[in-house]
Chains A and B, each alone.
Chain A
């Protein structure tokens, strides 16, 4: 069991800085997900923790001990790779045993641990096969098994599900979560898929261009994104954004005017913003109300009816796209005009620098 601490961690490549002084504490037994668009440095950060990339500056501590100089294997970590990275010439059993043989574990101890991992991951039936004879999901299980048998302090996962098809991804997502519950180890998981982050994490770390944007629980990030980037990244479909100007500060929020001159009330703290300041309003598709008498006039362009829920892709008079998510079915047809209402308590307000104003009333989801 282990606490992982990152202190001002920096990674420099020749002529460019990939990680800009990252501070982070991952608690014992926590499932921590690094998420961000490609190129944000999440994999680099994981590989620095693993010991596969040198740390240019700053300190990495595992259980309080500085491990910057220790070899990957000495840090007590195990990693599951995106490509699985199984040894192609070894059988599944040999793949699992290799790490234990390296540290001269007694034979029957190896046998016991390998068999236990095989049972846990249900790979016992193909222990004598080679990776090539396995399906993607089976390979993934073997890769996880290889990490499990080493009984590491911390598990590292580098986009482990990105090579699987959608259906299998959901299954494996559940299995990794279950593994975490059963073993209780600290786990660090890298993904670019915010659904994986939301469903699996105790703690999500959102990264962009080598800096942390926000750290928090999945619902924290959903309800109180620290800035426009996090707001746009977490949640699917993406949050809708509107340009606006602050008209007045009021008790219980602010009033802003949008590009069409319409007044919009937002239940956010008025402290860090002055009247006349340009702001960006954000509303999640699921919080927009469509079909009421009030609100923005929009044209519905496309409708996706899934039965249990509907997605309406609209455009307002300024040509700005607006996505509306409605639970249940809708009678609105493509091409029709409709009104979209922005409820005050669902509106996020971002200042010009992207930072969010504190929301005062978080509706039913709080």
Chain B
């Protein structure tokens, strides 16, 4: 059973090598041995260049040109006007005083969303990971339960919660059944903002719980035994052993979830559509609506806004790179 299998595998390898031998040799003769690597990279370079790198360059051109024309040749050069338009406010703390008030409302919404969503999500993820790391019954089941929403499409997540939270949804039906007054969960501005945070925590915390759980399990158990012999209280074990040793993982989790929160769009767009008014409009939705969904389509403004957002993401990404590198160095 085993031996014929090995032989078949060997035959497969030999055939594959023979098959690739002459094209490889031909390619080496054609471009030289040292340049064959480029040949292998070419397909990816083409795709990356065409669909990622080129749009980034084009984005700069759109950001510095005006009008609603889509072809760059028909767009007049306006310099930094799109940026100054976005950034002109008499009072930066009051979006109503800004020329692009929706942009600033989206910026503030995104700011609050990032702080609250990331803060609470990490707190919940940490507590969940700590519990799941202990010897509880049905450990595997609970780990699965918390991870399950991560596997759902964001649209499905939003539709599930919309079905629960809408005016005639199941939540209000339950409240009415208990004799309580129904609430307009997605129509009241404050409740709507609460629910977009809640739903995105629900949808993503399983992922971060899993990373934190892995971080907890990477802490060697003999260190805990040594702490036990050293007479450390449970609180001191947590604050002096667990947290410091979990810190590298925690930094990665914080930065990753920050980046994701800044980019939040899909669940919220489907759940509230950014409303009521612009109460739950985040920066990415503003860019989408300015550039594509509204008439006239202000590509320049959207491109400028996305560059501003990219700067924020760039800072966060650099932080993440530093964090993961220092973690790898341990």
Contact = CB atoms under 8 A, between A and B. Distances in A.
Contacts of B222: 81, 83, 85
Contacts of B227: 87, 98
Nearest to A52: B225
Given A52-B228, A73-B229, A87-B223, 6 more contacts: A50-B229, A73-B231, A77-B229, A98-B232, A132-B330, A146-B226
Contacts of B23: none
A87 B228 contact: no
Interface string A117-146: 000000000000000100000000000001
Interface in A4-57: 50-52
Interface in B192-242: 220, 222-223, 225-233, 236, 240-241
Given A81-B222, A81-B226, A83-B222, A89 B231 contact: no
Interface of B: 220, 222-223, 225-233, 236, 240-241, 244-245, 330
Interface in A273-308: none
B231 A99 contact: yes
Contacts of B245: 88-89
5 contacts: A52-B225, A81-B226, A85-B222, A98-B227, A99-B229
Contact of B228 (A72, A83, A88): A72
B228 to A, nearest CB: 5
Contacts of B244: 89
Contacts of A99: 229-232
A103 interface: yes
A150 interface: yes
Q: How large is the interface on A (under 10, 10 to 19, 20 to 34, 35 or more residues)?
A: 20 to 34
B226 A87 contact: yes
Nearest to B245: A89
Contacts of A98: 227, 230, 232, 240
Given A98-B240, A102-B236, A85 B226 contact: yes
B229 A79 contact: yes
B221 to A, nearest CB: 9
A88 B233 CA distance: 19
Nearest to A150: B230
B229 A72 contact: yes
A74 B230 CA distance: 9
A239 B92 CA distance: 89
Contacts of A51: 228-229
Contacts of B240: 98
Interface string A250-267: 000000000000000000
B225 A102 contact: no
A50 B231 CA distance: 12
A81 B228 CA distance: 12
A91 to B, nearest CB: 12
Contact of B223 (A52, A79, A88): A88
B217 to A, nearest CB: 15
A349 B231 CA distance: 50
Nearest to B244: A89
A198 to B, nearest CB: 28
A78 interface: yes
Nearest to A47: B225
Contacts of A77: 229
A73 to B, nearest CB: 3
A102 B229 contact: no
Contacts of A150: 230
A130 to B, nearest CB: 11
B241 to A, nearest CB: 7
